[in-house]
Structure 1
Amino acid sequence: MTRAADVRSVLVRVPATSANLGPGFDTLGLAVSLYDELVVTTTTGSGVEVHVEGVGAGEVPTDEGNLVVQAIAAAYASVGQPLPGLRLEARNVIPHGRGLGSSAAAIVSGVVAAKGLLEGVVEFSSADLLRVATEMEGHPDNVAPALFGGLTIAWMTSSGPAHKRLLVHRGVSPVVFVPESTLSTKLARSLQPASVPHEDATFNVSRSALLVAALIQSPELLLAATEDRLHQSYRASAMPETDALISLLRDAGLAAVVSGAGPSLLVLGSDPAQRLFAADLVAEHSLSDWRAVMLAVDLRGATVKPHPVENQDPLGI
């Protein structure tokens, strides 16, 4: 029997996510093929050692305040296990503060790492992982696709968060445009009103239902299906260039939306050629630098596997 005190090491890989997808506010999320990787190793001592390469290096906390560490601690606490000493080696690719689920990826990295480190001691179900991650994130729309991949519908019940994972039509071709600027989710949410007109709520219910059908069966409906009246227009003042580019792209027939809380924008092409058309339009009309990232829909979600403890280059894979 494996003991919690044994020195163990795991490799975790977690995808970026784009939530809302236009009308599916706080409900729909899509996992995409952009990944943070992390090796977590328990130590015989106490305390935490964190090393970060790539995005966030020199910026994110490298002690117990690190979000991944906090998520590992929350997962251990949820099953009554003492937290061991930890060494983290992270290689981050997902942009921070740009609407691609970087905080959700960090939280999911932590809970999935805990699952791997405690294998044989305590078993985590999918519901357990989603519950711990949602408690930390505050809502499940990003953590669900990061955990399970694909398109997820997430909702809250009296007993906690729940989700349904759906396979996306193979014709759906995402491209994300990432600006240099950032926007905090807290600020974006503060711009929304406490209530909306009944007709706007009805509008979004219809478009959300249509969007699920478009993503899993009928990509030709994506333009109509991504219309929104609940959040994007209220947040436009905080990201005017994002708003202008979305209008430009939609006028050209492309299903463009704010990615998560922004300021990145997501285009859901109905075929790969639409991504190239979108990239040309953004390059021609943008007023600042936007990086076009051609992506696929991630089908696996977060993964964790054992990693050799003696490896001196933890991410040398």
Structure 2
Amino acid sequence: MSATWNRSTSPPRLDLSVRVPASTSNLGPGFDLLGLCLDLFATVTAEVRDDGLGRVETDGSAGWLENVLIESARAGLELGAAPDLSMRLGLSNEIPVARGLGSSGAAVAAGLLLGATAAGTRSQAELERSALVDAAVELEGHPDNAVAALFGGCRLSLRTATGWRVVHQTVHPSIGFALAWPEAPLATARARAVLPEQVPFAAAADNPRRLAALLAGLCTGDVQLLTHGLVDHLHEPWRLPLIAGAAEALAAARAAGAFGATLSGSGSTLVAVGPVDRAPHLARVLGDELARHGALGGARAAALVEDAPRVEVVRSRDGSAW
């Protein structure tokens, strides 16, 4: 980051922007563990002023994500020891909200990155991205989407005795992803409320085997491993009934050649995993089946996003207060 604050007049202003990807999570057995970034994006801008007021607000464009953005940006400023900076945030969002595609995780990552970058620009002390992980998990409540959005690619988030460990998971280039979501949202709180406090021992024992197969299949592209791995016993059986046509759509995608199909996060988006050249067809199959059972929100093929988000300095200048 080459921009610096010009203190010849007051208050100086810095304009930042960051583009953060959507993410699918769980992919069956990777519950609250696995997040994989996909090519729908939320772009968040920040007007930053060194005015000593510590005011963080939005321009009204953030909708449901307003509080998440504000709290995340504040956390980023505090981590960078600059809570007195003021920020005005704007959002341009392609990610369907409350559909299991990591819209809130993307907002958390964007706010943290913008706040930490603004603080680091003033202090000329860059904050390591890994230092944001604890804050991201605390803000989001679970690591999968927010951590993936911070780092890009497919990520496993492991809690260790010394803190969170973020591991990159290779995804074979032959693997493609297809998405479809109904018009109706599904709040994460509702999707978590239906989960049982206990599951049968056989189900608990089988899920780690499925996860091992999934990770090996993602790395190698092995169809048999992916088919075995894209199955869950801990959350999907209770969440599928919340989404009209979901079970039928997943079955149709498998019949159409998907290696496997499952919920994206807690839903209501469905994700099919299959040959990369078949992803557009699989998206149509998922979408057609959902449409038969109600209003379809959207359907599309999606590509893995490996690159981590980068905060860009749009301009740095002096100016009047907001």
Name the TM-score, length of structure 2 as normaliser: 0.87
Q: Distance in 2 between matches of 1:97 and 1:51?
A: 21
Q: 1:278 to 1:295 in 2, by over 3 A?
A: closer
AA of the residue aligned to 1:154: S
1:179 equivalent to 2:182? Answer yes
Partner amino acid, structure 1, of 2:156: I
Q: Distance in 2 between matches of 1:97 and 1:284?
A: 20
2:252 to 235, 248, 261: 248
TM-superposed CA distance for 1:274, in Å, is 4.5
- Do residues 83 (structure 1) and 84 (structure 2) align? yes
Residue 173 (structure 2) aligned to one of 165, 170, 178: 170
Query: How far off its partner does 1:285 sit?
Result: 6.5
Per-residue CA deviation, residues 219-251 of structure 1 (Å, 9 max, x unaligned), is: 423222201111100112211322321133234
- For 1:160, the equivalent position in structure 2 comes to 163
Q: Is the 8 A contact 1:41 1:309 kept in 2?
A: no
Gaps spanning 5+ residues in structure 2: where?
318-322
Unaligned residue ranges in structure 1 (runs of 5+) = 311-317
Q: Which amino acid aligns with 1:51?
A: D
> SS of the residue aligned with 1:80?
coil
Moved more, 277-286 or 163-172: 277-286
Out of 260, 263, 269, the position equivalent to 1:264 is 269
Task: Count residues in correspondence.
Answer: 305
Partner of 1:100: 101
Q: Secondary structure at the match of 1:106?
A: helix
Give 1:89 deviation, angstroms.
2.2
User: Which residue identity lines up with residue 247 of structure 1 in the other structure?
Assistant: A
Query: Which of 315, 318, 321 in structure 2 is aligned with 1:308?
Result: 315
Aligned-partner Cα distance in 1 for 2:204–2:36: 22
Write the letter of the residue equivalent to 2:315.
P
Structure 2 residue identity aligned to 1:302: P
Question: What are the residue-to-residue correspondences of 1:15-34 with 2, within 5 Å?
Answer: 15-34=21-40
Separation in structure 2 between the aligned mates of residue 293 and residue 70 of structure 1, nearest angstrom: 31
The alpha carbon displacement at 1:78 in A equals: 2.7
Quote how far apart the aligned CAs of 1:136 are.
0.7
- Tell me if 1:228 matches 2:232: yes
> 1:175-196 CA distances to partner (integer Å, 9 max, x unpaired)?
1112101111111111111121
Let me know the Cα RMSD of the aligned residues: 2.4
Q: Deviations over 1:233-288 (max 9, x none)?
A: 01122113223211332344422110001011011122312431441464267323
Kept in 2: contact 1:28–1:152 (CA 8 A): yes
- Aligned CA distance change for structure 1 residues 285 and 263 (closer, same or farther; 3 Å): closer
1:279 match: 284
**Contact 1:172/1:219 (8 A) holds in 2:** no
Which residue in the other structure is 1:50 paired with? 58
Instruction: Tell me the residue number matched to 1:296.
Output: 303
Asked whether the equivalents of residues 223 and 253 of structure 1 are also in contact (C-alpha less than 8 Å), the reply is: no
C-alpha separation between the residues in 1 aligned to 2:237 and 2:74?
A: 38
Partner-residue secondary structure (3-state), 1:303: coil
Deviations 1:124-149 (A, max 9, x none): 21321111111111111111211111
- Relative to the length of structure 1, the TM-score reads 0.88
Give the Cα separation in 1 of the matches to 2:303 and 2:147.
17
Could you give the per-residue CA deviations for residues 65-92 of structure 1, whole angstroms, max 9, x where no partner exists? x321211111222343223121222211
1:173-212 equivalences under 5 Å are 173-212=176-215
11, 18, 29: which one aligns with 1:12: 18
Query: C-alpha distance in 1, partners of 2:48/2:87?
Result: 5
Conservation of the 8 A alpha-carbon contact between 2:240 and 2:247: yes
8 A Cα contact 1:26 1:141, kept in partner: yes
